[in-house]
Chains A and B, each alone.
Chain A
Amino acid sequence: MTFHPEIFLQQIINGLVLGSIYALVALGYTMVYGILGLINFAHGEVVMIGALTALSVILALHGAAPDLPAALFILAGTLVAIPVTMALGYTIERVAYRPLRNAPRLAPLITAIGVSIVLQNVALLVWGRSYRSWPPILPTTPHTILGANITDLQIFIVLAAAAIMAGLMLLVNKTKLGRAMRATAENPAVAGLMGVNVNVIISVTFVIGAALGAIAGVMVSANYQIAHYYMGFILGLKAFTAAVLGGIGNLAGAMLGGLLLGLIESLGAGYIGDLTGGFLGSHYQDVFAFFVLIVVLIFRPSGLVGERVAERA
């Protein structure tokens, strides 16, 4: 077995692209958990609806004017998908979670799974069962760096995700709204005494998470050139794993967890064949996320940068 540095670099690039997307989705999980202590399992489906909405817009636009620049297609698709998922995120919280705000924790968790199934079926009705492919709008010739390939799209995904995450950190840490979000996460009753309408803050949190989800949905479907009604399930579980890996409830943790999970998956899938003498192949990629989840839950349930849950009391 010989080591090929260019293959290693390729896996790192693929891992960073994948990890950027996981991080964006993981932020949606971790923000909601931070403020409500709720794992919004329907978030993966919000990402899926974002991806399919954007793709529908892109396909329609491509049918009408196939010669527009690729960036314009993606921009148009994303700009439609974001408000759609924002409205969806708001509605999910308002209809499914708010009535259960003071219910035992298990109730909203089961509801979240229910919402997830409902959304999958709605998507099945709207977009059908088959995989939907992207039109050939993206430049496919990659750039070569030290023998590894990277496309314009991949560069764009990593840079855009980094910019969005930096923006989110600024919002949460430097603005009045962000301060109210942090205060509400820590003690909603006292935040109310300060004049914060906690319901508005919770809605805003869902809406921001959903917007990030729409962007991640466009990225992931552009990256694989397909979208379908079931894509949110595995993606959601992996992003949830990333959030737990970083320390659920912690924004920086979700970003770190997402990037790490992307790298672990990419390197794991790339080298598992060599390491097991060909016994296991790269189609075991999905196994790594869940292996990581189990290891984290056993050895460091508070995550890499998370606080111990007991300290929250």
Chain B
Amino acid sequence: MSALLEVKALEVAYGGIRALKGIDFEVNEGELVALIGANGAGKSTTLRALSSLVRPAAGTIRYRGEVTSALPSYALVRKGLALVPEGRGVFARLSVRENLEMGAYHRGDREIGKDLDRVFGLMPRLAERSTQLAGTLSGGEQQMLAIGRSLMSRPKLLLLDEPSMGLAPIMVQKVFEIVQTVAREGVTILLVEQNAKLALELSSRGYVMESGTISLSGPSAKLLADPKVREAYLGEAA
């Protein structure tokens, strides 16, 4: 196994506030890694830094051995690094199909149609609604669209920011089934979640973030059993 993504001493500051205080972690090829933690721990900031949406104050991000922090985000997706942003970020005034086509924006090959069929196969609800404006979809459907759109870019590393946020339990389950399918197809995934139980059950390894630092890491099964994790994130009394 080689590290697809390697983060060292990463720091991000918003004005004077240090949102990330030097974190280290890595994601290996083919893994599904969970990054869990409470609100404001710095999970989304980490993903924003990985996608070049914010510039790190210090530290390095290596993706496939290359330092990426100086690259603009539009260049990263061409290298196979895709982010499904927090709040989904679907284009509400574009149709479902156009949203998916935007995912393949950087591609010029002839297999876009094939991938479109594959996404529609994975998410039949999107196929039924392909000509509808994305803004008319339910929250769960929009989350699926956002994931489907990122798959259209043929990612090697998929960054998912809180895919369960604001969704009904049944939709959460459906979305996570899709995440699992995508992972099985060989896409490496870094999953950021507040829903720690779900994320740890799905992933092989996990990191726990706390106020801008990584406080715990290890195999997901071990984290799930850890009394500190159970108390802080799984709502169990100590």
Chain A residues, Cβ within 8 Å of B72: 192, 197
Chain B residues, Cβ within 8 Å of A96: none
Would you call A55 an interface residue if the criterion is a C-beta within 8 Å of the partner chain's C-beta atoms?
no
Nearest 7 Cβ contacts at the A-B interface: A195-B106, A190-B89, A195-B77, A192-B73, A195-B105, A194-B105, A194-B102
- Considering the complex, which residues of chain A in the window 194-236 have a beta carbon less than 8 Å from any beta carbon of chain B? 194-198
Q: How far is the CB of A188 from chain B (nearest CB, A)?
A: 11
Query: Which of B60-68, B93-101, B199-207, B209-217 lies at the interface?
Result: B93-101
Q: Considering residues B82, B83, B94, B102, which has the most beta carbons from chain A within 10 angstroms of its beta carbon?
A: B102
Would you call A143 an interface residue if the criterion is a C-beta within 8 Å of the partner chain's C-beta atoms?
no
Q: Considering residues A176, A182, A190, which has the most beta carbons from chain B within 10 angstroms of its beta carbon?
A: A190
Would you call B37 an interface residue if the criterion is a C-beta within 8 Å of the partner chain's C-beta atoms?
no
- Considering the complex, which residues of chain B in the window 40-61 have a beta carbon less than 8 Å from any beta carbon of chain A? 51, 53
Chain A residues, Cβ within 8 Å of B92: 186
30 contacts between A and B (CB under 8 A): A176-B105, A179-B94, A179-B102, A179-B105, A182-B93, A182-B94, A183-B91, A183-B102, A186-B91, A186-B92, A189-B53, A189-B85, A189-B89, A190-B89, A190-B91, A191-B102, A192-B72, A192-B74, A193-B51, A193-B89, A194-B74, A194-B77, A194-B102, A194-B103, A194-B105, A194-B106, A195-B74, A195-B105, A197-B74, A198-B74
Would you call A187 an interface residue if the criterion is a C-beta within 8 Å of the partner chain's C-beta atoms?
yes
Main SS class of interface, A: helix
Digitize A170-184: 1 where CB-to-B-CB distance is under 8 Å, 0 elsewhere: 000000100110110
Would you call B78 an interface residue if the criterion is a C-beta within 8 Å of the partner chain's C-beta atoms?
yes
Chain A residues, Cβ within 8 Å of B194: none
Q: How far is the CA of A176 from the CA of B98 in the complex (A)?
A: 9
Q: How far is the CB of A252 from chain B (nearest CB, A)?
A: 13
Chain A residues, Cβ within 8 Å of B149: 194
Which one, A176, A186, A192, A198, contacts B94 given CB within 8 A? A186
Q: How far is the CA of A192 from the CA of B77 in the complex (A)?
A: 9
| Contacts from A to B (Cβ < 8 Å) | 176, 179-180, 182-183, 186-187, 189-198
Q: How far is the CA of A182 from the CA of B83 in the complex (A)?
A: 20
How many Cβ-Cβ contacts under 8 Å join chain A to chain B? 64
Q: Considering residues B51, B78, B91, B93, which has the most beta carbons from chain A within 10 angstroms of its beta carbon?
A: B91
Given contacts A192-B74, A193-B51, 9 further A-B contacts (CB under 8 A): A179-B102, A182-B94, A182-B98, A189-B85, A189-B89, A191-B91, A194-B102, A194-B105, A195-B105
Chain B residues, Cβ within 8 Å of A192: 53, 72-74
Which one, A187, A189, A196, contacts B105 given CB within 8 A? A196
Would you call B69 an interface residue if the criterion is a C-beta within 8 Å of the partner chain's C-beta atoms?
no
Chain A residue at minimum C-beta to C-beta distance from B79 = A195
Would you call B153 an interface residue if the criterion is a C-beta within 8 Å of the partner chain's C-beta atoms?
yes
Chain A residues, Cβ within 8 Å of B153: 194-195
Across the interface, do B91 and A193 meet the contact criterion of CB distance under 8 Å?
Answer: no
Across the interface, do B98 and A193 meet the contact criterion of CB distance under 8 Å?
Answer: no
Q: How far is the CB of B148 from chain A (nearest CB, A)?
A: 13
Contact of A190 with B85 at beta-carbon distance under 8 Å, contacts A179-B94, A182-B94, A195-B153 already known: yes
Across the interface, do B94 and A193 meet the contact criterion of CB distance under 8 Å?
Answer: no
Q: How far is the CB of B71 from chain A (nearest CB, A)?
A: 11
Q: How far is the CA of A183 from the CA of B92 in the complex (A)?
A: 9
Across the interface, do B91 and A196 meet the contact criterion of CB distance under 8 Å?
Answer: no
Q: Considering residues A176, A182, A183, which has the most beta carbons from chain B within 10 angstroms of its beta carbon?
A: A183
Chain A residue at minimum C-beta to C-beta distance from B73 = A192
Across the interface, do A195 and B78 meet the contact criterion of CB distance under 8 Å?
Answer: yes
Across the interface, do B77 and A179 meet the contact criterion of CB distance under 8 Å?
Answer: no
Chain B residues, Cβ within 8 Å of A182: 91, 93-94, 98
Across the interface, do A183 and B94 meet the contact criterion of CB distance under 8 Å?
Answer: yes
Across the interface, do B98 and A179 meet the contact criterion of CB distance under 8 Å?
Answer: yes
Q: How far is the CB of B88 from chain A (nearest CB, A)?
A: 9
Across the interface, do A193 and B73 meet the contact criterion of CB distance under 8 Å?
Answer: yes
Q: How far is the CA of A224 from the CA of B73 in the complex (A)?
A: 49
Q: How far is the CA of A130 from the CA of B51 in the complex (A)?
A: 56
Q: How far is the CA of A192 from the CA of B74 in the complex (A)?
A: 5
Across the interface, do A180 and B91 meet the contact criterion of CB distance under 8 Å?
Answer: no
Q: How far is the CA of A197 from the CA of B71 in the complex (A)?
A: 12
Chain B residues, Cβ within 8 Å of A189: 53, 73, 85, 89
Chain A residue at minimum C-beta to C-beta distance from B108 = A176
Which one, A176, A186, A191, A196, contacts B93 given CB within 8 A? A186
Chain B residues, Cβ within 8 Å of A187: 89, 91
